Chain A
Amino acid sequence: MSSRRSRSRQSGGSRPITDDQINDLVSKLQQLLPEIRERRSDKVSAATVLQETCNYIRSLHREVDDLSERLSGLLESSDTAQAAIIRNLLMQ
């Protein structure tokens, strides 16, 4: 048991995971979520924050997928892509 506890300390950070810490983390997460920021209510429950987080991450994943498909289509036209890449690197 003690070995498990010590291991949990190693990965958990602090063994007595206080409610305050979790509230802190949840509020930090809340700040990042655009929807909850716009709602501007302090009565958001943890479940809502978690739900919004899951939705937001999923939508970000979808956006990245869409963008990467678009980029792959653009990159397939090799000549313009090469010129564009070289130009971009020079501009940066």
Chain B
Amino acid sequence: MASTLLSNPVTNSDRSRKKKKKKIQAKDQNEQDHIKWKSDSQQQNYSSKLLQALSQVRLGSPPPPPSSADAPRRGRAVREAADTVLAVAAKGRSRWSRAILTNRLKLNFQKKHKKQRVVATVSGPSRSSSKKPKVSVLRLKGKSLPAVQRKVRVLGRLVPGCRKQPLPVILEEATDYIAALEMQVRVMAALAERLSDSGAGSSSAPPS
């Protein structure tokens, strides 16, 4: 009897089952994610992927004309490659990573069909969510100050893929995004150090 009672809400609708799984996984993931972005294995993983992507960026572009405008253009390509690799390293568990990757797909293919399909899968209830954030934020007791609302909007714009999400989603995505960005900065700084060391001709120091 108890088993049927337990299984009923689980098997009744896919949504509630996914919700329960999401809840349980979300709690573990929240702890795991912060550790995940700080672990050495993740950093190694990210830096090796980044190196591969960067070598592709360099080789992909034709020999550049000797113009100073190249640096910002190349810099942006490097930044995009780094963001893409970061999103891949997230393994699709977070909204911002999926948004980064789907934005890349949109830019690369530029087809309306893919855009519609991607928008439908990634942010399914986006149509209704345009009214949702107002409702959900107003429902918060004491958090309905316009200042807080404005800041949440700004934050939602900063984190990719979170423009129309309700407050708790934005906060969660922001925590993961910040941890990931910190790791990205660490890896890229270490890489720049190593490259500038070896570029200067001195014997490269062993990796710390």
A residues apposed to B, CB below 8 Å:
3-4, 6-14, 17, 19, 21-22, 25-26, 28-29, 32-33, 46-47, 50-51, 53-54, 56-58, 60-61, 63-65, 67-78, 80-85, 87-89, 91-92
Contacts and interface: CB of A to CB of B under 8 A. Distances in A.
B125 A10 contact: yes
A50 B124 contact: no
A42 to B, nearest CB: 17
A84 to B, nearest CB: 4
Given A68-B79, A88-B51, A11 B165 contact: yes
Contacts of B140: 17, 19, 22
Contact of B178 (A50, A60, A91): A60
B136 A8 contact: yes
A88 B194 contact: yes
Given A22-B140, A54-B155, A83-B198, A11 B125 contact: yes
A81 B207 CA distance: 17
B78 A68 contact: yes
24 contacts: A7-B124, A8-B166, A12-B166, A13-B168, A17-B136, A17-B139, A17-B168, A47-B147, A50-B152, A54-B151, A60-B178, A64-B188, A69-B78, A71-B78, A71-B191, A71-B192, A72-B78, A73-B74, A74-B196, A76-B64, A85-B55, A89-B48, A89-B51, A92-B44
A87 B64 CA distance: 25
A71 B58 CA distance: 11
Given A47-B151, A50-B151, A50-B155, A10 B192 contact: no
Contacts of A3: 128
Interface of B: 15, 18-19, 22-23, 26, 30, 34, 44, 47-48, 51, 54-55, 57-58, 64, 70-72, 74-79, 82-83, 123-125, 128-129, 131-132, 135-136, 139-143, 145, 147-148, 151-152, 154-155, 158-159, 165-169, 171-172, 174-175, 177-179, 181-182, 184-185, 188-189, 191-192, 194-196, 198-199, 204, 206-207
Contact of A67 (B30, B151, B171, B185): B185
B136 A67 contact: no
A73 B77 CA distance: 12
Nearest to B64: A76
Given A71-B54, A74-B192, 19 more contacts: A7-B128, A10-B124, A10-B125, A19-B143, A28-B30, A32-B34, A46-B148, A50-B148, A53-B178, A57-B155, A65-B75, A68-B188, A69-B74, A70-B196, A72-B78, A74-B199, A76-B70, A82-B55, A88-B51
Q: In terms of DSSP, what is the predominant structure of the interface of chain A?
A: helix
A7 B44 CA distance: 39
B35 to A, nearest CB: 13
Contacts of B192: 67, 70-71, 74
